[in-house]
Amino acid sequence: MSQPSRLEIAVRRTRPDEEEPDRLPLRWATIARLLSFTEAHRGQRNALLWLCAFRAMALPLLAWIVGHIIKGPITAGDGVGTVEWLLLFLGAVIVADIALYWRIRLAHQIGEAVLRDLRDKLMKHLLTQPLSFFHGRRHGSLISRMISDIEAMRNGIQNNFFITVVSIGQMTCAAGLMLWVNPQLFLVLLAIVPGLLLIHGFFRGKILQASRIQQESFSRVTSALAETVQGIRVTQGFAREDTNAGIFSRLVHTLAGNVVKTASLSALYLPLLELNSQGFLAALVGVGGWAALSGSGTGLGDLLTFFFLADLFFSPITIIGTQLSEATLAMAGAERYFRLLDTAPAWSDAPAAKECPPLKGKVEFQEVTFSYLPGQRVLHGVSFTAQPGQVIALVGHTGSGKSTIIGLLAKFQLPDAGAIRLDDVDLTDIQQISLRRQTGFVFQQNFLFAGTIAENVKSARPDASEEEVRQAFRDLDCLDLIEALPQGIHTQCSEKGRGLSLGQQQLVAFARALLANPRILVLDEATSAVDTLTESRLQLALARLMQGRTSFVVAHRLSTIRKADQVLVMDQGRIIERGTHDELVALNGAYASLHRDFLSSTN
């Protein structure tokens, strides 16, 4: 038997957001919490509950009316009475059908309203999470929570809950009428109930467990699909199409097997319930027929009424069984959804944090240490001061801590120790959202949203006009490059900027940062994807962009750091050299070595 590849093991590995016990009972606390989302729509919900109660009583009462007509006016040969009761029956049928229409309509309205509320609440919660939260989770799994799990929860409220309420109410009303019509025959029903409870208790746990495993398999398929689509360039670049297709095929086959297993349990569960109901009817014919023939007080009219009511008592059992099978999916989805919703952010703004005041641009790091994982520091006592309007260049080998400093400055993370101050105000006392309104970013890999170039640029300032967008490109001396595209600034780009070259994507990111008019500017390998000719056109524009703004530049290219006011040389999370370009070259240390390597690579 072939061993699974490393990629397949990675797809199957359990992540924090996918942990799921093999067996859990239905939790009333989870059901109550899910139903609490209907509180915002209490008017519709209460009306729907009344309609459910009416519908539950309507069908047994209609069956009783039919039985009463047969054993009353029809048996007595009363034609007028028969017509009167038939008119009453038809009126009751019309009212019951109208109630059914409004029950279905309100159930769908409430289901969709709850679905909207669940997704809105989860999205707002996800947006409060720090970057480390998303780095530790599969994007496909988060999408599964947002789409399939919430859809299952909607179905749980819209169908499973209210249909079960109607079914249980119908069984209760039918049983009550049977007890009132003939207590002796009702004892036959009581003899069947223990068997129903045993079957239900045996299958409930098995179906629940199978449904959980099925949902887990679906989540793995979703994650594998998302990773394959996102990494299609790597897949095709290393000719891994067949390998990835095989991994996906195995995951799909596993999912199909789990679905069949769940369906098999349901297929066995429902016929056993049906067998009990048929057994009851056989017993009813035997006991009721013997009582009617022996003249012990049970008439054929009572027996017929009992048959009608028995059908209304047992038919909901299969419906409840089906709803239970579907409800286990809703419960599994609800537990996963609430686990994600209850995941508190690793950190958040201090309660006393305030709006960021208009910044002048002074930035100060004081003995800052930081670690992504406990005990594995990536910054060790970093200290420096950037005066307003200065350009600070961060250089060093990959993994030296340059981007970590940028992340701390933007408050994407909080330092383990030390302090970061902006205009002498501690960063912990500033709300992160208001800070980022005065900070502009251009990263090495910039994310562009699906839409036009203009819409992407205006994401920094939604109220900006198209002329302001053009002016941003004009200030960058690259408007001609954008206008040369088929539709200029209205050119469509798909998710992640597909449809534009890497250089064009960077130009859009530059214009977005310029339009935001930030006080602090961060350029993280910002020109690495731009060819030398385009970069040369950007230099003057970048100088204007950085003028009067405190700018942090992370770059390997000498041209972007030569004019920096201060160059910080990083190595293994420490600043090992600092000074201007000329000072550090004259020092003949680590920076001079990097400088020589750069010159040799360009020659």
Give tens-digit pLDDT for 323-351: 876 777 788 888 888 888 888 887 777 88
Q: Where does 510-565 show beta strands of DSSP type E?
A: 520-524, 550-554
- Mean of the pLDDT values across residues 156-164? 86
Residue 363: pLDDT band (50, 70, 90) is very high
Between CA 21 and CA 222 the distance in angstroms is 20
Select the more confidently predicted residue: 398 or 573.
573
DSSP alpha helix (H) spans, 377-501: 402-409, 432-436, 453-457, 466-475, 479-483
User: For residues 544 and 372, is the Cβ–Cβ distance under 8 A?
Assistant: no
Q: What is the pLDDT of residue 383?
A: 93
pLDDT per position as a tens digit, 198-235: 776 677 667 767 777 777 787 788 778 877 777 776 77
- Mean of the pLDDT values across residues 153-172? 87
Amino acid at 141: S
Domain boundaries for CATH 3.40.50.300 within the chain: 363-602
pLDDT per position as a tens digit, 436-472: 888 888 877 777 888 888 988 888 788 888 899 998 8
Specify the fold of 363-602: Rossmann fold (3.40.50)
Coil vs helix vs strand at 231: coil
Residue 421: pLDDT band (50, 70, 90) is very high
Say if residue 27's pLDDT is above 60: yes
Q: What is the pLDDT of residue 62?
A: 87
What percent of the chain shows pLDDT beyond 70?
A: 83
Q: What is the pLDDT of residue 1?
A: 41
Instruction: Please compute, for residue 301, the number of CA atoms within 13 A of its CA located in the half-sphere on the CB side.
Output: 15
φ, ψ for residue 373 (rounded to 5)?
-120, 145
What percent of the chain shows pLDDT beyond 90?
A: 11
- Mean of the pLDDT values across residues 133-161? 81
Burial of 533 (0-12, 13-18, 19+ CB in 10 A): exposed
Q: What is the pLDDT of residue 22?
A: 33
Specify the fold of 28-341: ABC transporter transmembrane region fold (1.20.1560)
- Mean of the pLDDT values across residues 483-495? 84
Say if residue 188's pLDDT is above 80: no
Say if residue 568's pLDDT is above 70: yes
pLDDT per position as a tens digit, 240-290: 778 778 888 888 888 888 888 877 777 777 677 666 666 666 766 776 667
Range with top average pLDDT, 11-15, 493-497, 531-535 = 493-497
Domain boundaries for CATH 1.20.1560.10 within the chain: 28-341
Between CA 38 and CA 49 the distance in angstroms is 12
594-602 contacts, C-beta under 8 A, 24 or more apart: 594/395, 594/396, 594/569, 595/558, 598/556, 598/557, 598/558, 599/558
- Our measurement of the distance from residue 204's CA atom to the centroid of its chain's CA atoms, rounded to an integer in Å, reads 28
Between CA 384 and CA 425 the distance in angstroms is 15
Between CA 494 and CA 490 the distance in angstroms is 12
Between CA 269 and CA 276 the distance in angstroms is 11
Q: Which of 26-35, 241-250, 397-406, 555-564 has the lowest mean pLDDT?
A: 555-564
Amino acid at 51: L
What is the residue-averaged pLDDT of the chain?
80
